[in-house]
Structure 1
Amino acid sequence: MTASADSRRFDEIFAGAPLMAILRGMGVERSARLATTAWDLGIDSVEVPLQTEEDDRALREVVRIGAERGKAVGAGTILTVAQVDAAVAAGAAYLVSPGLDPEIVRAAAERGIPILPGVATPSEVGQAVALGLTWLKAFPAQWLGAHWFAHIRGPFPQVKFVATGGMDAGNAGEFLAAGVTVVAVGSALENEAQLPRLAALLQSTP
């Protein structure tokens, strides 16, 4: 997959909503239930991190039910080329990594699947841009702070960021206002008090 095709694919994946869901270590049934909660809420994209065999089974189930709704499901915490292959075999539509590893980026490109690598410094953003990437995961976003994104847009106006780590209904709006394209939430989907706030955020964001 070329860099331009990678970018276009993420443009499509995240076109519907400025939020995505991360279902880490939740098992098959819980992952399926929360994925459905996310989709019903209006969050189109769901990521299932791959760290255990149970995660692989959860990813396959969420991919299955996502296909019935026409939803893209990603595989996260990709650290090795073997995980790239496992994610592709499970039917993932995209990959997410906690850091920036050129070998993983190349492996994803060779297999025709877009990847969202993690960055936390201007140097890492610059390296990712040099690799032809325009969609990046900023992690840990809560530690970076919303102002980081306002500053980083100066030298890198073409980059679109997905803010991950410590995000919920309480701070998502601040990060979106600072220039983040997508905010990733996780446990907030199980908090009944946060669901209406997330829904309101989706409705208020163009």
Structure 2
Amino acid sequence: MSNQDASGLNSQLRDIKVVPVIAIKDAGKAVKLAQVLIENGLPCAEVTFRTEQAAAAIRNMRDAYPDMLIGAGTVLTTEQVDQAIEAGVDFIVSPGFNPTTVKYCQQRNITIVPGVNNPSLVEQAMEMGLRTLKFFPAEPSGGTAMLKALTAVYPVNFMPTGGVSPKNVKDYLAIPSVLACGGTWMVPNDLIDNEQWDELATLVKEVAQIID
């Protein structure tokens, strides 16, 4: 992972502000979902490896929208890193800090944003050259107060995820070290499963208006 790659991702995340975190059960719905996100102001997706269809969904999104910013989330193993890279992701996200996964991503030259929620984990990540970290689970870990305390000490950027909602997203984004927030509220599984694209579009538009 080069610093140039990481800085490029940081710039894109800061522009987008909110990253939809998606668990998709049917890869056949991925292209339409990507279209809804792009057309309504959130041209980004973190497709989580919580479903067996994750890699196929990423591949479908990438084929249809080459310029979309696509991450793979909930990546827990080096095998999943390989699957995500082969599917065409721009970056990897993990819920925790696993040095094995981090090293493997660095060897494969793909940016990883691992999860941390305390000073010790931030320092371990910094020791491995990382400066962009996921703050997870954000709300249970102390929310904006904890994030401000970490920011006061460490020169790193954060992507808070976990409990971020329309009520608090602006509070997180107001912290200078926060590049973007990850959230699921605008991409609920039932709407994706039932192909309720108009309802999804409304939720995505509302997010884009909140952060505009």
TM range (shorter): 0.7 to 0.9
CA distance in 2, matches of 1:63, 1:57: 10
Q: 1:150 aligns with which of 134, 148, 151?
A: 148
- The aligned residue for residue 174 of structure 1 is 171
Aligned counterparts, 1:30-109, within 5 A: 30-67=29-66, 70-109=67-106
User: TM-score of the superposition, structure 1-length normalised?
Assistant: 0.87
How many corresponding residue pairs? 199
CA distance in 2, matches of 1:175, 1:15: 12
CA separation of 1:195 and 1:58: change in aligned 2, threshold 3 A: closer
The answer on whether the counterparts of 1:169 and 1:188 sit within 8 Å (CA) in structure 2 is no
Q: Given the alignment of the two structures, is residue 197 of structure 1 paired with residue 196 of structure 2, yes or no?
A: no
User: TM-score of the superposition, structure 2-length normalised?
Assistant: 0.85
**Percent identity between the two aligned chains:** 29
Runs of 4+ that moved beyond 6 A: none
CA distance in 2, matches of 1:33, 1:26: 14
CA separation of 1:8 and 1:196: change in aligned 2, threshold 3 A: closer
Q: CA deviation at 1:90?
A: 0.8
Q: Which amino acid aligns with 2:167?
A: G
Gaps of at least 5 residues in structure 1 are none
Gaps of at least 5 residues in structure 2 are 189-198
The answer on whether the counterparts of 2:22 and 2:187 sit within 8 Å (CA) in structure 1 is no
The answer on whether the counterparts of 1:77 and 1:98 sit within 8 Å (CA) in structure 2 is yes
Offset from partner CA, 1:81-115 (integer Å, 9 cap, x none):
11111111111111010111111111111111100
Which sits farther off after the overlay, 32-41 or 118-127?
32-41
CA distance in 2, matches of 1:96, 1:184: 11
Q: Which amino acid aligns with 1:44?
A: P
CA distance in 2, matches of 1:15, 1:177: 12
